[in-house]
Amino acid sequence: MTMTRKLFTRCLLTLVVFFVPAAGFSADGVQSPDEQVRNVTNEVLAIVRGDKSIQAGDSGKVLALVDEKVLPHFNFRRMTSLAVGPNWRSASPEQQERLIAAFRTLLVRTYSSALTKYRDQTIEVKPLRTNPGEKMVRVNTEVRQDGVQPIAIDYALESDGQGWKVFDVTVAGVSLVTNYRSSFTNEINAKGIDGLIASLEAKNKSLETGQGGK
Amino acid sequence: MKNAPLVFVTVLLAAGCAGAPPDDPLEPYNRSMFSFNEKLDNAVTKPAAKAYVAVAPSPLRTYVSNFFGNLQDPWIALNNLLQGKPANALNDFMRFVFNSTLGIGGLLDIASEAKLPKHDEDFGQTLGVWGVKEGPFLVLPFFGPRTLRDAAALPLDASAETPWTLPYRNPVVHDEWGRYGLSGVKLLNERARLLGLERTLDEGTLDKYRYARDFYLQQRRFKVLDGNVPVEYEDFDSSEDASGTSHEFGGKQ
């Protein structure tokens, strides 16, 4: 509860100082996007830091953690449509659902393993400059590690009225979502939307068996 | 101000940033060179980098990164100057002075702690800032992905970042094997930092070459413009046309 109180105090202070309710909670009680990114990042990293089996590479445990703490903050429908590109419009609702499921599995499997590599990097979430009423924002973060230039990781978030959901992640200027578009488009041009679905599902399946055998 | 990013978006769209396949006239050659580099990496560089990680503990590797990073800073400073950013150039020069002295020959990056951040510049970027076009995408043997422009800048960039290889009477490293050794450690250290990345490429993509190519091109453009790249997000779930529903972020200030 002290956390909430701290946030509340900060919000009040911000209100008083800047006249803009942007830093803590907005008037309807929804967390601001940068606070949200900061809270989720801190919470997840605290768990990873305190969990020896995650640090040793226990992929089942990492997936469970990501599933519970991270995924609820992502909009996979939006991400998948951006990765697929204009062809998304010609996909049937069933095809769209299968694309979303397959792309989600691919992304989660690929990037959650990065958490097992986390050691002593620090992540700074930059304060957000935004106008109230904005429906889309970009939260900039910086991953710092000794001896290396900091890496910029930016999150694009969109509000659906109830909360903010991430729909793109940019690493050092490259979108991890739209960077798929050229290979997805290529696949669709050659084998159709069902062909892309089949390729993604086959990829996921091979990873599953590959991990089982390890 | 409102119109300038729009022009950029159009240019980027045309350049293939948001979907259209980028021009890759050398694709067949590039693909075979890409897989050659991959085989070489699997056979030699990656195992050597793993051995290096096993032998050198993490703090030592940080000293090594700092040491080689420090030797890059004068070149980064010069490129910032050539790009018309004297304040950044001064920052980089101060970094070199502080880290070389108080940072014990560059082993410690005390400048970063003193709020003198490290920059990322090279002559390829400088050429880009001067308006030299990228040219076709090119995979070089050993060195990997480049644009033609970056490949042209490579001899300068590579020798400036490894000053011990320059053909003058080197006051510090007299011994030829010492020079090879330094270059070798630098290579291993850089490869070690990227361990695990090849797994991400293997597992996370349908077409490794295409993904790596697009990634390289996009991050180079981002670097040349120092991050001032507006991003546009279309909405393909909306029935309206894309231009009416897309949303665009301006670059960073």
pLDDT digits (tens, 9 = 90+) for B107-130: 999 998 898 989 999 999 999 999
Q: Give A142-178 pLDDT, tens digit per residue.
A: 988 766 778 889 999 998 777 899 999 998 889 999 9
* Rounded Cα gap, residues A134 and A137, in angstroms: 7
Phi, psi values for residue B124, rounded to 5°: -60, -45
Please tell me the pTM assigned to this model.
Answer: 0.81
> Using a CB-CB distance cutoff of 8 angstroms, which residues of chain B are in contact with residue A84?
236
Give per-residue burial for A61-84: e unless 16+ CB within 10 Å, then b.
bbbebbeeebeebbbbbbbbbbbb
Q: Give B68-118 pLDDT, tens digit per residue.
A: 999 999 999 999 999 999 999 999 999 999 999 999 999 999 998 898 989
| Residue in A closest to B223 by C-alpha | A173
Q: Does the pLDDT at position B233 exceed 80?
A: yes
Q: Give B7-62 pLDDT, tens digit per residue.
A: 333 334 344 343 444 579 999 999 999 999 999 999 999 999 999 999 998 889 99
Q: How confident is the model at residue B3 (pLDDT cuts 50, 70, 90)?
A: very low
ipTM greater than 0.90, yes or no?
Answer: no
A178:B19 CB<8 A: yes
Q: Residue A129: which of A140, A142, A145 has the closest Cα? A: A140
| Residue in A closest to B238 by C-alpha | A89
Interface mutation target, options A120, A178, A196, chain B, most CBs of B under 10 Å: A178
Which pLDDT does position B170 carry in this prediction?
Answer: 61
Selecting from B19, B117, B204 the residue whose C-beta is nearest the C-beta of A181 gives: B19
Which pLDDT does position A29 carry in this prediction?
Answer: 58
Which stretches of chain A drop beneath a pLDDT of 70? 1-30, 146-147, 210-214
Q: How far is A19 from chain B (nearest CA, A)?
A: 23
Which pLDDT does position B246 carry in this prediction?
Answer: 63
Q: How confident is the model at residue B65 (pLDDT cuts 50, 70, 90)?
A: very high
> Using a CB-CB distance cutoff of 8 angstroms, which residues of chain A are in contact with residue B230?
none
> Using a CB-CB distance cutoff of 8 angstroms, which residues of chain A are in contact with residue B12?
none
Side-chain-facing half-sphere of A92: CA atoms under 13 Å: 5
Which pLDDT does position A88 carry in this prediction?
Answer: 96
Q: Does the pLDDT at position B5 exceed 60?
A: no
Q: Does the pLDDT at position B209 exceed 80?
A: yes
What are A141's strand-pairing partners?
A125, A153
Which tops the pLDDT comparison, B32 or B177? B32
Q: Residue A125: which of A205, A32, A63 has the closest Cα? A: A32
B19:A86 CB<8 A: yes
